Structure 1
Amino acid sequence: MDADQFADYVERLGRADSRDVVWSVVCGYFDQAGFDGVFYADLAPGRAILRTNLTKCWTDHYAAEHYFDIDPFFRHSCSQLAVTSTGQDYFDEHPYLDRQERQFILTAGETGMTAGLALPVRLAGPGGVGGWNVVTSHGRETVDRLRGSGWRIFHLAALLAHERMRDMTATDKSAPLTEREMETLRWAASGLRTKEIALKMRISAATVEFHGRNARHKLGAKTREQAVAIALTRGLIAM
């Protein structure tokens, strides 16, 4: 990526007027560099923003298997602000990974994405965690040829995108609930428990928990009952 491409990226980010536009600009920028997969997370008390262009099949599987709890991106990559390599092609650079973490990475590699870069923007801690994981189906060579100055430019690009996402969040007041999150809360409001909601929605209990957790983050609620109360009060759901 040359200076002109980066300058164009910065200009288009500045003109973006919504998170969707920011997301489109970011995905296009990284795709030009050979990274065809993008994952973004900004998790904090009262807010949960998660975006990816990876397949729905993978994201559903990720939620159902509770991979958030073992994902090395959150466990390790976001414990420092340095850019680090990700993916099974880089096992040799991360000997500390345990068996469970390695198996998760191998499973993720079945999407075709076997190498990437972790670009942290918020260190993991009580205040939350956040970052970008840009991955490629073109193998380690794509990532290695950009080592050094290329990695630093991508980190700057990620930090700028994060700030624009935050700007949009501040404008929107709060991240909107997805249809699945609202449906989960509607069933909870009717008195159903997790397994019963799963049957109604024809999804796994783990996926119900995932949607419920996201809804709580977005509404600033500590419990499911509090999330239901807030959603009802704001008119987001009805009994």
Structure 2
Amino acid sequence: MGDIHGNKNEDIFFKSSVEEVLDDFSVLTKESHRRDWECNLRKVLRRIGYDSYLVSLGSSTTSDPFNRIMTNYPSEWLRRYKEENFIKVDPILRHCRQHFVPLFWGRARRRARGKSTEFWKARERYGLLQGVSIPLRCSEMDGSLNVSRYINPVHEFDDDPNGPLSKLFMLTPFILEGLQKHLSKPGELQCSLTVRESEVLRWSGVGKTTWEMSRILGCSERTINFHIANASRKLGSFSRRQAVSTALAQGLISL
């Protein structure tokens, strides 16, 4: 009798936990400004254990993986990806275009050969070591959800039903619904930066401080911050670093 009650209590706890998680995720399905939506996405991902992310959803006819993205990946990695033309050997991009099942980075890294090995080694230098990429499909659009977190490399992911990986799979449809509202809108990401906004983002991307940029461009630090804030707002970014990464990925600036 005690075992029966124990199982019931566990079921009640699990149900309550799932409902709480789903309520937390539902914020991503509500109408909001793109910048607020991504801020919520970042918070949700961090709460379930993921720090770095790149989500994309765009026309399946384009060859540009950065067609429509939201990311906080290091701008240095995005720049190197373009400079070394990793798009030609990117196993993540290839996998997500051809399959529906997730790609676990650690396993893919161990199976890599030739140029793909260089791709995985390069990513690891920027902290993109252990993670997973989930293909996304919606109407005529495709893309992927890519996340990474710091974990013991011996145990990439566990099978705990309440663990980070299980919650990530639960989260995916909520992200997909939100992406349809924010990344699939015509012109949503096709913003226009002014010359000065592009300049401050480029200088910020190569590591210049606000003070250094004010001296280089001959204006006040307040003016520099003003242009960075405007550029961040247009790009839907919540930080200077992300504004640089997004502008770089979309081809709005080059470093």
TM-score range, shorter chain: 0.5 to 0.7
Is the CA contact (8 Å cut-off) linking 1:19 and 1:165 kept in structure 2? Answer: no
CA spacing shift, 1:209–1:105, aligned 2, 3 Å: closer
SS at match of 1:129: strand
Q: Deviations over 1:38-79 (max 9, x none)?
A: 011213147931121111111122222222232111112442
Alpha-carbon contact 1:81-1:120 (below 8 Å) kept:
yes
In the alignment, structure 1 residue 158 sits paired with structure 2 residue 177: no
Question: Contact 1:22–1:161 at 8 Å: present in 2 too?
Answer: no
RMSD of equivalent CA atoms: 3.5
Q: Which moved more, 1:51-60 or 1:139-148?
A: 139-148
The alignment-based identity, stated in percent, is: 14
Which structure: greater strand fraction?
A: 1
What TM-score, normalized by structure 1, do the two folds share? 0.62
Q: 1:145 Cα shift?
A: 2.1
List runs of 5+ in structure 1 lacking aligned partners: 184-206, 213-239
User: Hey, what's the Cα distance between the residues in 2 that align with 1:164 and 1:210?
Assistant: 20
Matched residue SS, 2:251: helix
Provide the C-alpha distance between the structure 1 equivalents of 2:249 and 2:41, rounded to a whole number of angstroms. Answer: 29
1:8-47 alignment runs, 5 A limit: 8-44=23-59, 45=61
Q: 2: CA distance between counterparts of 1:173 and 1:100? A: 35
2: distance between equivalents of 1:179 and 1:64? 23
> Does the CA-based 8 Å contact 1:36-1:135 persist in structure 2?
yes
Mark the runs of 5 or more structure 2 residues left unpaired by the alignment: 1-13, 196-246
**1:90 Cα shift?**
5.4
Alignment partner of 2:25: what SS?
A: helix
1:38 aligned counterpart, secondary structure? strand
Is residue 7 from structure 1 mapped to residue 22 from structure 2 by the alignment? yes
Q: How many residues align?
A: 181
Contact 1:118/1:133 (<8 A) preserved: yes
> Could you say which structure has the greater relative contact order, defined with CA pairs below 8 angstroms and 6 or more residues apart?
2
User: 1:53 maps to what in 2?
Assistant: 72
Which residue of the other structure, out of 85, 91, 100, is the alignment partner of 1:66?
85
